[in-house]
Structure 1
């Protein structure tokens, strides 16, 4: 058992306890309170968090950690299958290297969970997953797989396939190819259902099987969109096929905040801590998250690692707070909002009894530059202790 005591417990569930305690047992949060009694005969590890912030582990809702490895070049970059614009059958789990050094940097920043998947070179890129940031075997770190189907609009697919002299070279072609793929997937699913009902033989197709959880609304489309026109095209197509959707990046989202609210889809804003080196990000602005939130949109923030280094996620949210996002909403963007958007809020994103014991302890507000991560706890195990300056297990 592990007891965290004397900390400022920011539960992200509507309660903050000064000088509070959290009791952890068998990887889960067992109790929360001002004082927690533990039997003397129980084996107990204690962390005195006096003067510190105790928060749910931070969640990165969109990145390419481990699939685009640091310092590895082509050999370590498995983010995009650039030769085919439609690849729904690709699975992030087959490409993520948990030995990527960025995982340790995430842990040291108090980031305990990441949503990872293919890049945005293809119209349909493949399946994202959600995993914990600690462990040598990816299968043991999985929280949800698959967790989303990546789709992309705008410059990246256009540039990639224009360079190859094939479609899509225009936004029209991107929209048309995605619609055609969804149309065929819907037909496939309907045929499979009818065959099952009539007990007829049905030959499964590996390509279209990957779309079943999307059409069943178990997972959303995860749309790479920056410009307003691309945002609206993603919304239009998702509505046309009655599918769930997250709007990722959403650089110009603040220009159409009401329309995004009306769509009912959540937004993952960023990365904003970068040069505006593409036409479609010319209107990128830190105020985006704050404007969307004030309109009523559910918002999280991303580094899009390695575009921005993953350990800079709390600082990236801090810039959004400086530009108008409410401080509490900034903390939510790092935790419970990200968990809700990723559909894992039943396990993660807040300190509540029964949830995974993923906790980060900071010297102060994690969105401030000089704040230090003191401890990172994943599944109830202390995996980082700043006093030892190394991973513990």
Structure 2
């Protein structure tokens, strides 16, 4: 049992509580209020002069897929031998002993959606994980979050070098359509077989992995920077009636009103750093504010290791500096991220019954001088300054 007292609590559920208290029991938030009394057997954290936030959430990164300071031996994010690899799973590449996990926790980030990179048209499945533990199986919040797919420069560059399809944007779209169409046919044959093994189609691991997409159980997580690539991802999602989240959405500010009408959520970034390729030439921290004002549901990503995960609050702060309201910027790395990932029943805000993923800050997380005093994951203190 753990008790936090005398803190300013940013619940991210609509209220900020001055001089508040939080009681944690069995890894969950049991009580929140201003006049609570600490149980005699509780560990007490005095939050006087400090701020408490829910653990921040990165809705799109590759933590554990490209390990810190290793190079090839720790680079497991892109299987660049086949443009269509939906049967790959993030959990089989994640190394929780990578120092990036500890660094993220020290920076107040407790949860991440992580998975394959964007070399392939279809790269495999993302997972949502807590960032503390030594066995990935015990850290999973949502094992099969989404199916990664990619548009634009990356897949065409990789496979043009191999003299394979796709070497154009047309080829990328065709490869994705082909796989979705084959999955629909495969599903329909399985249904028609009615359980008769003799009539079942030959087992296909790739198409089995795509069935949750076609059945609208998980979305396509679509890497798309440029406006035309964003619209291609939407066009294909509509053709096959599948769920979709827009990842990166770098030129989203140029088409904000149209994206608002389409209704797909956008996970924006990484907006910090140089414009390393042509399709990033419109990159700006204005994008989150413009999309929010247009009515698009947004979160902010680091795309770690592009931006180290511990700098997620900095990325949100720079979006705030560029015009996104402070509370909306905070939501982009807490409750909005949780809702887009479909895990808001457990994390993303400080509410009774949710996981006790809490961070006690000395200062405001948007202040570069602020420090994390304590990080809790599932009610356990996993970092103390």
Give the TM-score normalised by the residue count of structure 2: 0.98
Name the CA distance, whole Å, in 2 between partners of 1:217 and 1:371: 42
Which residue number corresponds to residue 91 of structure 2? Answer: 93
Q: Deviations over 1:345-375 (max 9, x none)?
A: 0111000111111011111221221111111
**Correspondence list, 1:96-175, <5 A:** 96-175=94-173
Matched residue of 1:297: which SS?
coil
Aligned length: 384
CA apart distance, 1:319: 0.7
CA apart distance, 1:206: 1.3
CA apart distance, 1:193: 1.8
**Which one of the candidate residues 60, 63, 66 is aligned to 2:64?**
66
Which residue number corresponds to residue 10 of structure 2? Answer: 10
Q: Which runs of 5+ in 1 are unaligned?
A: 387-393
Name the CA distance, whole Å, in 1 between partners of 2:129 and 2:185: 32
Which residue number corresponds to residue 256 of structure 2? Answer: 257
Name the CA distance, whole Å, in 1 between partners of 2:89 and 2:289: 33
Q: Deviations over 1:32-85 (max 9, x none)?
A: 111213444xx2101011111101100011111111111111110011010100
Which residue number corresponds to residue 192 of structure 2? Answer: 194
Which residue number corresponds to residue 237 of structure 2? Answer: 238
Name the CA distance, whole Å, in 2 between partners of 1:7 and 1:218: 40
Which residue number corresponds to residue 36 of structure 2? Answer: 36
Matched residue of 1:259: which SS?
helix
Contact 2:111/2:130 (<8 A) preserved: yes
Q: Deviations over 1:288-323 (max 9, x none)?
A: 000000001111111100111111111111111000
Matched residue of 1:3: which SS?
strand
CA apart distance, 1:18: 0.2
Matched residue of 1:230: which SS?
helix
Which residue number corresponds to residue 391 of structure 1? Answer: none
Which residue number corresponds to residue 51 of structure 1? Answer: 49
Q: Which runs of 5+ in 2 are unaligned?
A: none
Name the CA distance, whole Å, in 2 between partners of 1:261 and 1:218: 23
Q: Taking structure 1 as reference, are residues 197 and 263 closer, same or farther at Cα in structure 2, changes over 3 Å only?
A: farther
1:25 aligns with 2:25: yes
RMSD over aligned CA atoms reads 1.1
Which residue number corresponds to residue 79 of structure 1? Answer: 77
Which residue number corresponds to residue 182 of structure 1? Answer: 180
Contact 2:55/2:359 (<8 A) preserved: yes
Name the CA distance, whole Å, in 1 between partners of 2:345 and 2:228: 34
Q: Taking structure 1 as reference, are residues 259 and 200 closer, same or farther at Cα in structure 2, changes over 3 Å only?
A: farther
Name the CA distance, whole Å, in 2 between partners of 1:36 and 1:3: 9
1:329 aligns with 2:320: no
CA apart distance, 1:205: 1.9
Q: Deviations over 1:174-226 (max 9, x none)?
A: 01110011000111112112223667642432111111222222211101000
Name the CA distance, whole Å, in 2 between partners of 1:381 and 1:57: 12
Matched residue of 2:194: which SS?
helix
Which residue number corresponds to residue 361 of structure 2? Answer: 362
Which residue number corresponds to residue 209 of structure 1? Answer: 208
Contact 2:38/2:44 (<8 A) preserved: no
Matched residue of 2:318: which SS?
helix
Give the TM-score normalised by the residue count of structure 1: 0.96
Matched residue of 1:360: which SS?
strand
Contact 2:180/2:214 (<8 A) preserved: no
Name the CA distance, whole Å, in 1 between partners of 2:39 and 2:226: 58
Name the CA distance, whole Å, in 1 between partners of 2:216 and 2:294: 25
